[in-house]
């Protein structure tokens, strides 16, 4: 049976209310352990329970060319699969006879508290996945006290995001582009619109080869071809929303309608060096995070430049296939530079258990991309919020079952990656 979920009509999300017996309410176990969670126990919404379920719904809702863009990675797609496999091979230490009645998932990120160690990673072309686009994701981020990172390749400009969701903690992801004036213009816009940090991506001297996108001929906006007409027939709601809402285009590159691979060649610069990071520091004068660290050596180099944080990342497997698996090198990177900067990680994080694994191996926080895009494609803002629910539920449950009541204890407890 196909999964059914109608998040755009929350009033139809029926809940099954199970009345509690009075004797249960008077019991010691209920009042000690379950009283604060009774709403979660007696009401179980009919909605997706896992990221995988959201992915299934998203695939049914969205045109193949768009789903393939989100799901796909570079070349043979080995790197991303290795990241997924590595998270599955993690093993946690368990402590019993610990009072875990109160679980604290908060974390301080660049001096400010967030409610979960989970950030919304920068993703390009977000309005293509759902017509609500980046503002829908940022709104969830604001409501859940998280951090949203806007992409250079986004369909919403820094000014538009600041106007629509003024209370979200927002960072600006940046490529040092071939035309440095374009880079400087974007930095200035981010500064003027209240973005608190820059996240410079350094793993894109050239774009990776994404076979799915090449086969699909992906463009923004999608071109109308015979195959497009067939897609409209199978995904009419998505196409209707695409055609009847805000024009789909790059906020920073308005008017572009050629294949995405050609745009990447115009943007990505093969000449970026440490000198450009120093230049960014001189024009930004605020926290800078470097994304795309794939070795201890690179971590040490960028930390020596005076950055605030780094992201251990292989771009979700979307750049170099057979690149290092971020989780496998995380501990070594943290040992080398973790006392000087905050260390984050991304790539293949699809559950609260994955978040736990990353924290246990030394990360301060994680960035998620595909996971929240599945939610966005499945149900817009409601779907993204459901993704946060799932991460929060899984992380709290894992912390309780391992005997850790806060993230400092999770990190101290550690984890190991099994060979098989």
- β-strand partners of 417: 90
Nearest to 147 by CA among 353, 287, 299: 287
Q: DSSP letter string over 307-330?
A: -SEEEE--GGGTSSTTPPPHHHHH
Strands 118-120 and 365-368: parallel
Which candidate in 315, 318, 370, 411 is catalytic?
315
Catalytic residue at 131?
no
**Rounded to a whole number, what is the distance in angstroms from the first to the last CA of the chain?**
34
Q: Say if CB 196 and CB 172 are below 8 A apart.
A: no
**Phi then psi dihedrals of residue 370, to 5 deg:** -55, -40
Cis peptide upstream of residue 205 (ω within 30 degrees of 0): no
407: tokens are 């993230």
Q: Say if CB 323 and CB 98 are below 8 A apart.
A: no
Q: DSSP letter string over 191-236?
A: HHTT--EEEEE-S-SS----HHHHHHT-BSSPP--HHHHHHHHHSH
Contacts with 307 (C-beta within 8 Å, 6 or more apart), sequence order: 277, 281, 288, 289, 290, 341
Strands 342-346 and 365-368: parallel
3-state DSSP percent of the chain in helix, strand and coil, to 5 = 50, 15, 35
Residues assigned a catalytic role: 315
């Amino acid at each position: 049976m196909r999964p059914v979920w109608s998040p755009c009509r929350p009033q139809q999300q029926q809940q099954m209310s199970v009345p509690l017996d009075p004797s249960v309410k008077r019991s010691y176990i209920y009042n000690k352990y379950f009283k604060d969670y009774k709403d979660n126990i007696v009401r179980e919404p009919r909605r997706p329970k896992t990221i995988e379920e959201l992915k299934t719904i998203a695939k049914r809702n969205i045109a193949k060319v768009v789903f393939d863009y989100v799901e796909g990675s570079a070349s043979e797609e080995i790197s991303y699969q290795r990241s997924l496999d590595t998270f599955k091979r993690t093993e946690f230490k368990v402590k019993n006879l610990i009072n875990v009645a109160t679980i604290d998932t908060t974390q301080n990120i660049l001096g400010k508290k967030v409610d979960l160690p989970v950030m919304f990673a920068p993703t390009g072309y977000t309005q293509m996945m759902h017509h609500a686009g980046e503002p829908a994701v940022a709104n969830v981020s604001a409501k859940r006290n998280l951090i949203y990172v806007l992409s250079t390749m986004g369909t919403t400009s820094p000014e538009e995001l600041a106007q629509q969701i003024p209370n979200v903690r927002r960072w600006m992801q940046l490529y040092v582009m071939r035309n440095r004036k374009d880079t400087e213009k974007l930095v200035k816009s981010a500064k003027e619109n209240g973005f608190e940090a820059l996240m410079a991506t350094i793993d894109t001297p050239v774009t990776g080869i994404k076979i799915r996108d090449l086969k699909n001929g992906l463009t923004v906006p999608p071109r109308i071809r015979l195959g497009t007409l067939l897609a409209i027939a199978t995904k009419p709601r998505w196409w209707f929303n695409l055609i009847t809402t805000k024009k789909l285009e790059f906020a920073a590159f308005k008017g572009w309608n050629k294949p995405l691979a050609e745009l990447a060649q115009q943007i990505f610069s093969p000449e970026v060096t440490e000198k450009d990071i120093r230049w960014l520091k001189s024009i930004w004068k605020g926290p800078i995070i470097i994304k795309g660290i794939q070795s201890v050596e690179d971590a040490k180099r960028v930390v020596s430049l005076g950055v605030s944080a780094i992201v251990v990342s292989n771009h979700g497997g979307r750049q170099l296939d057979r690149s290092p698996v971020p989780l496998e090198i995380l501990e070594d990177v943290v040992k080398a530079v973790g006392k000087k900067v905050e260390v984050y990680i991304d790539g293949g994080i699809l559950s609260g258990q994955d978040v736990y694994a990353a924290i246990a191996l030394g990360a301060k926080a994680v960035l998620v991309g595909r996971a929240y895009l599945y939610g966005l494609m499945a149900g817009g803002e409601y779907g993204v919020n459901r993704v946060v629910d799932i991460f929060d539920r899984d992380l709290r449950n894992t912390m309780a079952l391992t005997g850790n009541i806060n993230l400092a204890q999770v990190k101290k407890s550690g984890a190991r990656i099994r060979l098989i």
